[in-house]
Amino acid sequence: MTRTTAYSARSIRLTLWASVFFNLFAAALLAFPGSAVAQLLEMPADAPLLYRTISALAIGLFGLAYAWMALQHRPDRPLLAFSAIMKSSVFAAAATLWLMELLSVRLVLVTVVDLVFAVIWFWWLFAAQAHDRDRRIAQK
């Protein structure tokens, strides 16, 4: 794979759209922890309504930010970097809670998807930076 292919804004937009749907799904699970799918994932059903609501809103709003970035000609790099940090942090938090035996392994496995998005986005950010650097050098 060439650097130009790795740098493709089109490919990163596809991952952003996938993340939109993943986030909206996660927001629904947090909003309705008593649902059959949430219970299958062993989500705690007794979380206070305020925490569930704020968490679901935050995750849903991140999903809208991903949709906005996906609609751009080129995703906003600082926002994408922040998003990658957040996605990797979600996985780290879930893994930590699982190690403390406070979270089910099923939920940790769901957050692996966040980690995959984070790795792809970090990779794209580094490839885009290298591409820009190479272009500047070639123009000199």
pLDDT tens readout for residues 58-81: 999 999 999 999 999 889 999 999
Please report, for the chain, the start and end positions of each structural domain, with discontinuous segments joined by +.
3-139
Segment 4-27 shows an average pLDDT of 87
Q: What is the DSSP letter of 47?
A: -
Are 29 and 55 a contacting pair, CB within 8 Å?
no
- Type of residue at 94: A
pLDDT band at 85 (very low <50, low <70, confident <90, very high): very high
Segment 20-30 shows an average pLDDT of 96
pLDDT tens readout for residues 41-56: 999 888 899 999 999 9
Residue 115: name the closest of 136, 96, 87, 140 by CA: 87
Position 94 pLDDT exceeds 70: yes
Per-residue model confidence (pLDDT) at position 38: 93
**pTM, full prediction:** 0.86
Per-residue model confidence (pLDDT) at position 90: 97
Name 118's Cβ contacts closer than 8 Å, sequence gap at least 6. 84, 85, 87, 88, 91
